[in-house]
Homo-oligomer: A and B are copies of this chain.
Amino acid sequence: MRLGAAIGKMRGGGYKATPQRMAVLRALVEEQHQSLEEIRARCPEVGLVTVYRTLDLLGSLGIVRRLDLGDGARYELAENHHHHMICESCGDISEFEECPLDPERLPSGRADFEVRAHSLEVYGRCGACR
**What residues make up the interface of A, taking CB atoms closer than 8 Å to B?**
66-68, 70, 73, 85, 87-88, 96, 98-107, 111-127, 130
Option from B101, B102, B117, B124 in Cβ contact (under 8 Å) with A113? B124
Tell whether, in the assembled complex, residue B115 and residue A106 are in contact, meaning their CB atoms are under 8 Å apart.
no
**Assembly stoichiometry (copies):** 2
Tell whether, in the assembled complex, residue A125 and residue B118 are in contact, meaning their CB atoms are under 8 Å apart.
no
Closest to A130 in B: B114
| A114 neighbours in B (Cβ, 8 Å) | 124-125, 130
| A66 neighbours in B (Cβ, 8 Å) | 68, 70
Bound CA–CA A130/B111 (angstroms): 13
Tell whether, in the assembled complex, residue B121 and residue A119 are in contact, meaning their CB atoms are under 8 Å apart.
yes
Tell whether, in the assembled complex, residue A106 and residue B118 are in contact, meaning their CB atoms are under 8 Å apart.
no
Bound CA–CA A119/B100 (angstroms): 12
If the complex has contacts A73-B68, A107-B85, are A127 and B101 also in contact, measured as CB distance less than 8 A?
Answer: no
Closest chain B CB from A68 CB (angstroms): 4
Bound CA–CA A9/B95 (angstroms): 32
Bound CA–CA A122/B101 (angstroms): 11
